[in-house]
């Protein structure tokens, strides 16, 4: 079911031409900075992959992939990607990328099961990145180091936007605040995960929440994760499990948290077997990706995705992702957006 957040007295700061120019400048500037910070080279990504190989991202495990038959492959099914979490790791191996270096790509996806609204579209565009790492770096401190590098690129990009459009004042803090999902639960024990994100991001403006996908002290998860890419069960800092997390900022226009990135240290063989067992998904071990991981032909890695449209939406102070990208929206939402000065492309 679609849901529209209605900010009071919303007036876009930029017209359509300024917005399009801003989108172009943000995308070019940020990906150059991301590449430099993490030592990533750009590669070309697939729009679809073969079904049944375990390469497509399962997200929370419930979303249906858009699929179609391929005539010249005896009607074998292809799936439009949800994201490229597993494909990137295969590519690191195939390209023989050295330790400390990685890849990034423009990922375009269709997520037909999204609940459409200000932050969610059928069309997903993000920078997907992956970097080779060592066994010694499989810890929370290294995860934080990478997050800080990404956040530094975000802060520089916001200042570039300010130089380009002085009416858009910078609002990101100098440093990002780190907290584990279990610590966050204990801090706000009477709130659900979304309520906790609201309070912590409103207070600190930019937050990285560690430990997404594993069960917390109350037996519940902060949020879902597929069990075969991020390592969310290996103990890290202060013995709390989780080597992954979400980067969330406070959006002044919508007056709520905005998740810009999901990322983490990827599963090794031990974490993969453990997490698949916990989720009752051990049958995945028969798939191509999982076989390669278990046999040891894939490098240890850290990676994630950074939403392009969401990033632009945040920097340009937009109220709806449809002001940044062209997609399909319910007609009732289009009409209501028009009355709210929200100009959907």
| Residues known to be catalytic | 57, 111, 126, 246, 259, 262
Write the CB contacts of 244 (distance below 8 Å, at least 6 apart in sequence). 143, 210, 211, 212, 213, 225, 230, 231, 232, 262, 263, 264, 265
Query: Closest by alpha carbon to 292, among 67, 91, 14?
Result: 91
- Strand order in 102-110's β-sheet? 40-42, 102-110, 123-132, 301-307, 256-265, 244-251, 206-210, 177-180
d(CA 286, CA 279): 16
* Complete DSSP assignment for 223-289: S---TTSB--SSB-GGG-B-SEEEEEEEETTTTEEEEEEEEEEBP-HHHHHHHHHHTT-GGGGGSHH
Query: Closest by alpha carbon to 111, among 49, 66, 48, 152?
Result: 66
CA distances from 327 to 204, 252, 253, 320 (A): 32, 24, 21, 12
* Complete DSSP assignment for 231-244: --SSB-GGG-B-SE
Write the CB contacts of 148 (distance below 8 Å, at least 6 apart in sequence). 175, 176
Residue 168, sorted as left (phi over 0), alpha (psi -120 to 50) or beta, turns out to be: beta
């Amino acid at each position: 079911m679609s849901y529209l957040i209605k900010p009071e007295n919303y007036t876009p700061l930029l017209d359509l031409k300024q917005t399009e120019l801003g989108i172009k400048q943000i995308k070019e500037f940020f990906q150059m900075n991301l590449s430099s910070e993490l030592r990533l080279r750009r590669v070309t990504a697939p729009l679809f992959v073969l079904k049944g190989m375990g390469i497509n991202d399962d997200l929370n495990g419930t979303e249906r992939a858009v699929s179609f038959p391929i005539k010249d492959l005896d009607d074998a099914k292809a799936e439009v990607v949800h994201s490229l979490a597993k494909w990137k790791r295969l590519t690191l191996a195939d390209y023989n990328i050295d330790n400390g270096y990685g890849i990034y790509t423009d990922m375009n996806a269709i997520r037909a099961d999204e609940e459409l609204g200000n932050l969610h579209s059928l069309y997903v565009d993000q920078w997907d990145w992956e970097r080779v790492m060592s066994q010694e770096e499989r810890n929370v401190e290294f995860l934080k180091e990478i997050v800080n590098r990404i956040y530094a690129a975000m802060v520089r990009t916001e200042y570039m936007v300010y130089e380009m459009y002085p009416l858009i004042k910078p609002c990101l803090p100098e440093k990002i605040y780190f907290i584990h999902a279990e610590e966050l639960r204990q801090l706000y024990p009477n709130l659900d995960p979304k309520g906790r994100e609201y309070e912590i991001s409103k207070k600190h403006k930019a937050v990285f929440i560690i430990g997404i996908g594993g069960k917390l002290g109350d037996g519940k998860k902060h949020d879902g994760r597929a069990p075969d890419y991020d390592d969310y069960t290996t103990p890290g800092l202060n013995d709390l499990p989780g080597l992954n997390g979400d980067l969330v900022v406070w959006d002044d226009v919508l007056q709520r948290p905005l998740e810009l990135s999901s990322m983490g240290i990827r599963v090794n063989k031990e974490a993969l077997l453990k997490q698949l067992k916990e989720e009752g998904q051990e049958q995945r071990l028969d798939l191509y990706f999982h076989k390669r991981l278990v046999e040891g032909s894939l490098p240890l890695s850290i990676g994630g995705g950074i939403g392009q449209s969401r990033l632009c939406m945040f920097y340009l102070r937009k109220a709806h992702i449809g002001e940044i990208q062209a997609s399909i929206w319910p007609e009732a939402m289009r009409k209501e957006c028009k009355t709210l000065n929200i100009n959907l492309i």
